[in-house]
Chains A and B, each alone.
Chain A
Amino acid sequence: MMIPSVSALAGMAPMTADALQVVGGGLPPAATLSAREVEFPRAAGLAVTPSVGVAPAATAPFDHVLGRLVSEVDAKLQTAEVEKKKVMLGESDNLHQAMLAVGEAGTAFSFLVEVRNKLVESYQEIMRMQV
């Protein structure tokens, strides 16, 4: 049961905004849809096709998923450091930019921790299998 979830995790890899839209079913961009069409696409008569982006993503090697996530968290932490330094040195009086960058980095890190927990759980499940 854990092995399909590991490959599903690999399929989740490119969690960009456009990938999420594609996973939502190949709909036209949200700006052109009415509120009803966005919430209930099938009822509104829009053709909900299977997503196009999942297939290429599933072929990405799995170890690259975690590596990419780690480098992304690192990039966000670097951004947060730069913003904090700008505020503390007085180069920028936009305190909210620093706080938003810190919040974003925190959320990214929590996501990384969750992925790591799932991986460790899957590994332990596999190791528990009787040979």
Chain B
Amino acid sequence: MNFITGINLSASALDAEKARLEIVSQNVANAQTTRTPEGGAYQRQTVAFESFLAGADASQGVRVARVAPDTAPGPRVHNPGHPDADANGMVAMPNVNLAFEMVDLISASRAYEANLAVVRHARQMAAKALSIGK
């Protein structure tokens, strides 16, 4: 039972946006990584959300469905002196575009703030309801 309306839904959304932020930070940190345990350059990770039934009253929360790599190939740069250069002197760089990552970052941050605003207003509504008895 929740006194603050929809707090479970907002909590699930805050979790999901935080996961998205973590993926963005992972992408940005690995923007120059040319070697991974799987071999090859780092592939940018993308996150997909799905809704799920969060409570008995058919309310839908959100959760991360999967974290999948973006399979688009990254740019190949001519750099013969690089340790990971192949026979032609080309190095496969990660397909991380910092501009896209910044947009994802801002989007995740704004979505997080939006859910926080929902929680704040729901709590204020509960407080106003309590003032009926005063």
A21 B57 Cβ-Cβ under 8 A: yes
Contact indicator A110/B127 (Cβ below 8 Å): yes
Contact across chains for B130 and A111 when beta carbons are under 8 A apart: yes
A17 and B4 contact, CB distance less than 8 A: no
Q: Is B63 an interface residue (CB 8 A)?
A: no
Q: Is the CB of A94 within 8 A of B18?
A: yes
Size category of the binding interface on chain A: 20 to 34
User: Could you tell me how many residues of chain B have their Cβ less than 8 Å away from some Cβ of chain A?
Assistant: 22
Interface residues of A in 1-31 (CB under 8 A from B): 15-18, 21, 29-31
Q: Given B56, B123, B130, B134, which contacts A103 in the complex, CB threshold below 8 Å? A: B123
User: A100 vs B126: C-alpha distance in the bound complex, in angstroms?
Assistant: 14
Q: Among the listed A30, A93, A104, which residue makes an inter-chain contact with B2, where contact means beta carbons less than 8 Å apart?
A: A104
Tell yes or no: A107 within 8 A of B by CB: yes
Are A31 and B58 in touch, CB under 8 angstroms? yes
Give CA–CA (A98, B58) in the complex, Å. 25
Q: Tell yes or no: A97 within 8 A of B by CB.
A: yes
Contact (Cβ within 8 A) A104 B7? yes
Of the listed stretches B8-16, B23-31, B44-52, B87-95, chain A binds: B8-16
Quick check: is A66 within 8 A (CB to CB) of the other chain? Answer: no
Query: Could you count the A-B residue pairs with CB atoms below 8 Å apart for me: how many are there?
Result: 58
Q: Known contacts A29-B57, A29-B58: does B1 contact A17 (CB below 8 Å)?
A: yes
Which of B1, B10, B11, B14: most chain A Cβ within 10 A?
B1
Cα distance, A9 to B20, chains bound together (Å) = 45
Q: Are B4 and A104 in contact (CB under 8 A)?
A: yes
Q: Which residue of A lies closest to B112 (CB)?
A: A96
B3: which A residues are within 8 A, CB to CB?
104, 107-108, 111
Within 8 A of A (CB), among B60-110: none
Q: Which residues of A contact B (CB under 8 A)?
A: 15-18, 21, 29-31, 72, 93-94, 96-97, 100, 103-104, 107-108, 110-111, 114, 117-118
Question: Which residues of B are interface residues toward A (Cβ below 8 A)?
Answer: 1-4, 7, 10-11, 14-15, 18, 55-58, 116, 119, 123, 126-127, 130, 133-134
Beyond A21-B57, A103-B123, 9 additional contacts (C-beta under 8 Å) are A29-B57, A30-B57, A96-B11, A104-B4, A110-B130, A111-B3, A111-B130, A114-B130, A118-B133
